Structures are given as C-alpha cells and as structure tokens.
Structure 1
Amino acid sequence: MKVVVYPGDRWGCGSFRMIWPGEQCAAAGHDVHVVEKDRRSVRLVMERDTVRDVLVDDVDVVVLQRVTHAYMAQAVSVLRAMGVTVVVDVDDDLSSIHPSNPAWQVHRPGRGLHSWHNLAAACRDATLVTVSTPALLDVYARHGRGVVLPNYLPDHYYGVSRTDSDVVGWPGSFHSHPNDPEAVGGAVARLVDEGAQFVMRGDSSGAGKAFGLAADPVGGGVPIEEWPAAVASLGIGIAPLADTRFNSAKSWLKPLEMSACGVPWVASPRAEYRRLHAMGAGVLADRPRAWHRELKRLRESPALRQEMSEAGRAVAEQLRLQDHAWKWAEAWQQAYEIQQATPRSRVAV
C-alpha cells in the first residue's frame, strides 16, 4: 500500500500532523512518501470551475491536510471515483475561528476560493477523516468515518536543557489567540504590578492591552527547529483558552510542549488540557483569581516548580511520537480497506 502525504504547510500544523508522523511511518518500513507543498505532482483537469479529472502518480492512499480550496475539495470525490483512498486531516474547527484571527478572513465563505465550507465538503466526501481531538469528530466526521490521532511530540522536544526561573511566559502568538487573554482576566497584570516579569514566545503585538499591561511584553517568533529551546527558556508557562466552541476542540499541544521541555504550567480547563492534567501534568485555573493564585504559588516556590517540571516531563515521556506513529499507519490502512469495500458507483462525483 503506497501512501503519499501532502502537508498543508511546513510549519507547526504541517509538521505535527503530517510531516513528522509520515517520516516516522516511513522509517518503520511503511511505503509512505511525504511531499511538501512546492513539490506536489497532483494536477487538476478543469472545465471552467469544475474538476473533471485528477492526474496523480500511481498511489493507493492520498493524505491531504486542511482542504479549504474549492477545487481541491472537489478533487476528493474525483479521486475516490478513480479508486484512490483519500484521507483528510483536520486539527482545528475552522468554522468557529474568532473573527479577529487573520485566518477568519482567509477562510470565511464568499471571500474567495478558500472557505471552511469547502473543508466540510472535503471531509464529507473523504474515505476517512483524521482529527486531533474527539470534539472534531462531531464537526467533520459525523458520517462515522473518523479517527482521532492526538498530537504527539518528536524526539527533539525531549532532553532540552532548562534553567529554572520565576519568569512567567506564554508560548503563543496573540494574533492567533485574540480573545484568549481574557481567560486570565487581570491576573497577569496583577503579577506584573507585584514585580513579576511576563514574556511571550511568539508575536506579542497587541498582547499588552489584552492582558491589561502598559506595553506589549517581550516576544518574537523563532524557527520551528528552535521552538523547543524557546519554550524551555520560560520559568513558568501559561496556556489560556477562552471558553469558546473553537477552543473546545483544541488539542493539548501547547501544554504538552511545555511539559516535555520541563516548564511548569497553568492552563484553562478546556477538554484536552483537562485530559493532560489528569495524567499528572500542570495545574488548571478557571477564573482570574485562580490564575493569580496558582502563578503566584509557582513564582514563590522553586521546589514546587521543580516538582511540576519533573511531573510534566514524566507525562510527556508517554506521548512521544515515535511510540504512537503506528496509529497513523493503522488509520491509513483502515481508510484503504474502507475504500476497497466501497463500490465506485457509490462515490459521488
């Protein structure tokens, strides 16, 4: 069974969901080929705005990510009618993105060829949909052809050196989390007034006002290869998520990254964060007073920071990608078997 994996990008989502799992499966002996976006050989044969044919190399399973383009969404059913298995992977509920998130403008229907409606159609027609959280199954795989593949971490997240401190930090970019600082209320501003240092690892433009600070915190993006070291540079991490439909389907990736890097963390009680906390990592805070209390405890206790750092690393050790990559291979095999059992006459084109 030949599998070709087409990541949607070469950054975070593309790496965690497609590139790194695909490479792990290939290393384990599976016939898996990861083809980055600028090297794709897929060609669409168009008749005006309709996809009539798809020219693709000899392949059994095509794995696509975040199919939001109208023509690629059409290509899903065309490929299936040709007998090709199509797996669509989704990591976020794009239909509920916050309007202040730049991705909302890109994916809102009616603006152009990309939309979350196209993604819904692609998932409807796909042989199998893979998602990062159970909540996403209800959004994109109500037809029952869905598998949850949680986010796991590659080896370079483990064993990263870290120097303890009481610096509080958020490993995230404000533009992609425009309403999440509201989860902490005035807790961060109160800590800063008490003498705490607050920083970000990611774009901090606009975050100062959102957290109630006099200025944007120190921040800035880093290459994906340097991200684990950037996360590890934090003394205490935060993972705030507002109580929204979009966030109810978010994965545990951010606190998991902090756990693997030995950073003690405080997070909002969203579903997947609760799941990771139940395994023994981090602490949850459901209101500003709790955020302030838990962060203050960590700032004032090096012993508590060390205890939580060790506990987080122990939990993250169970969630190495190399130990779970077989789940991707198993899902692709399941998709192939579904496709083989589906008469081509039943695939809508």
Structure 2
Amino acid sequence: MKIFGWLADRSGCGYYRLMLPGAELAQRGHDVMLDGTLPAEAKSGECDVVIGQRVCNEGASVTWQKLALAGHTKLVFETDDLLTEVDPSNRIAHRFYTEDTVRRYRENMAVADVITVTTDRLAEHAREINRTAAIHVLPNMIPAWLLDHERPKAGDLVTIGWRGGASHSRDFGELAKPLRRFLQHPDFRDRAELHCMGAPYQVRVESNHGRTRWTGWHEGVSDFLRAVDFDLAVIPLRPSSFNECKSPLAVLETAALGIPAIASDFGPYRLAAESGSATLTASTPREWTEHLTTLVNEPETRTQLGKQAKEWASTQTIEGNAWRWEAAYTND
C-alpha cells in the first residue's frame, strides 16, 4: 500500500499521529511518505491513501477538495482535537481557527472517505460532520523504547513535574494555588520542587520558599521524553468541551516512564484512571494537596503506582497496535 501522510506539523501532533504510525507501517512493508507539502504523485492519484492532518488552510483545502472530486485516492482526514471549539484562552490557536478556517476544516472532513481521531468523544463530533465516512478511533500510542528508558534523576529533592505548551494556562490554573501553598509549606519546601517542561508556568507558583525550575522545548519529541526527570507528575485539566475530547497522552507518556500521576478528575484522565493507569485523580484543592502529600512522603507508594502505570502503558505501544492504523487505511 502506498501511503502519503500530509503533515500539519512535526511537533507532538505530527509525531504521534503520523510519524510514529508511519514508521511502523513502513516496517510492515508499506510504502510510506510523510511531508508538509503534497507531492505530485499524491496529487495525480498514484497513492492509495492520502492522510491529511487537520487540513484547513486555504490553499491546502482547494487541493483536498480537488482530490475528493477526482476520487482516485482514499482520503483520510486525521484530527486529534475538537478544533471547532478552541478555548479563547488558547490565544494562538484561537486566532488561527477563525470562522473561515473552521468552515474549511469542517468542509474537508465532510468529503473524507475515512476519519481518524484519538477518542470516542471526538468520534461523536466527527460523525456530526460526516455521516458516511468510516470513523476510526486510533488512540495515541507510545514507542516501545520508552518503556525501557531509564529516566534521569534530578537530585535529592522529590521532583513534581508538569509538561505542556502555552495553551494550558487555564488548565494549570486548576492546580496553581494548592501547588504554590504546598511547595512553600515548611514540611515540603526543602524536600520537593516543581519542574515545568515546555511552557514556563513555574512562575505562577514561585515564592520565597518554594523551589521551582524550568526546561524549555527540545528539538524533538524523543529528546523531550528522554529528558523527563519527574518523580511524580501533575496533570491538571479544566472542564470544557474541547478538553473532554482530548486523549490521555500526558498520562500515557509518564506512565511509560514509570512515573505516577495526579490528574484532574475529568474527561480523558478520569477514563485513564478507570482503565487501570494507576492515576490518582483530584477535583478540589484539598484532593490535590492530599495526593501530593502522599506521593512526596511515601516513596514506596510512588514506586508501586509507577510499576502499575508502566504495566498499563506496555499495552499501548505503536509496535503492538500499528495494525489499527493499517486496518483504518485499508478497510472501509
């Protein structure tokens, strides 16, 4: 099968949704090409499958609609977020997904033969736009090497870790106040630290006593994953329609590294906790504080939860699940 993956980016979304699956499908003998520009052979119908990652730009949309009209190639529309409901607090994305951009996004999804998404909730929204396409839920998967990676140790302090981009301002707000109080509490100020990776949200919990540090973005996702040095992870998520459709990727990444997580008791993280990820969930400042206290005070609990989390993550490798992508691209 000749497959072309039309990348929207080469960051996390591109990595997990096209680059990882594409590499594994190539290992299985398929002819896989990935790029941000559509090659002539894809335009001419020489590819069996063209996967468009959230196609919505004006020029790309014209091309996509022409491909749909020609009907020579199976068109797979790939999306991993509810981009019709971007929160205004996510300023960059909200400015990008204008009324016209969202209209093109919907129109391009509407003419696809196949739609691939990350979650059941996102699949429901996709079905509202396209009632005839085959819709496949392909959860985000991790590379198997991550399960064997020995994460670096930061030092003697218990490292509470958060990772993510600038779009999580309101999400981080779910945790900021109790985390700030926790870090500056006399019982923990010399025993625990916050390490933010990605966006510098540590500034929101800094104080004269609480310890924090920050690591910016790495060149690639693999580099970032190898640099994670958390002893426990905090993963806040504000309830919203957009967030309800998200995948539990943050939990999955840390679980693969044997890192226990505390996450908001909402949407994807509630489902992950119920599915055996050993995630502790919190919905109030008191619950966040109680779980932080337990995991900082009890290293044996961190170890046990981390082992359970890694066992859960071991069933969710791209190597063990690439057949899902293969089936989505070959079956109607």
Return the TM-score normalized by structure 2: 0.88
- 1:123: Cα distance to partner? 0.7
Deviations 1:328-347 (A, max 9, x none): 11001124xxxxxxxxxxxx
Aligned 1:19-168 pairs, distance under 5 A: 19-29=19-29, 31-37=30-36, 40-42=38-40, 55-56=43-44, 58-83=46-71, 84-101=73-90, 102-109=92-99, 115-142=101-128, 143-145=131-133, 146-162=135-151, 163=153, 166-168=158-160
Pick from 219, 234, 240 the counterpart of residue 230 of structure 2.
234
Deviations 1:262-300 (A, max 9, x none): 111100123221222123222111111111110111000
Q: Unaligned 5+ residue runs, structure 1?
A: 44-53, 336-349
One-letter amino acid matched to 2:257: C
- 1:213: Cα distance to partner? 5.3
Q: Distance in 2 between matches of 1:75 and 1:274?
A: 40
Distance 1:217 1:68, change over 3 A: farther
Q: Distance in 1 between matches of 2:14 and 2:231?
A: 28
Q: Distance in 2 between matches of 1:186 and 1:100?
A: 19
Equivalent residue pairs, number: 315
Aligned 1:208-219 pairs, distance under 5 A: 208-209=203-204, 211=205, 217-219=213-215
Distance 1:333 1:182, change over 3 A: same
Q: Secondary structure at the match of 1:311?
A: helix
> Do the aligned partners of 1:186 and 1:212 also contact (CA within 8 Å) in 2?
no
One-letter amino acid matched to 1:193: Q
- 1:100: Cα distance to partner? 2.7
Between 155-164 and 129-138, the greater mean CA deviation after superposition: 155-164
Q: Distance in 1 between matches of 2:207 and 2:78?
A: 38
Q: Secondary structure at the match of 1:91?
A: coil
Root mean square deviation, CA, Å: 2.1
Say if 2:211 is the partner of 1:221: no
Between 269-278 and 244-253, the greater mean CA deviation after superposition: 269-278
Q: Unaligned 5+ residue runs, structure 2?
A: none
> Do the aligned partners of 2:172 and 2:236 also contact (CA within 8 Å) in 1?
yes
Pick from 156, 164, 170 the counterpart of residue 172 of structure 1.
164
1:191 aligned partner: 182
> Do the aligned partners of 2:160 and 2:233 also contact (CA within 8 Å) in 1?
yes
Deviations 1:84-138 (A, max 9, x none): 210010011112222232111112225xxxx222111111111111000111112
1:46 aligned partner: none
One-letter amino acid matched to 1:153: I
> Do the aligned partners of 2:3 and 2:48 also contact (CA within 8 Å) in 1?
yes
- 1:5: Cα distance to partner? 1.6
Between 281-290 and 240-249, the greater mean CA deviation after superposition: 281-290
Return the TM-score normalized by structure 1: 0.84
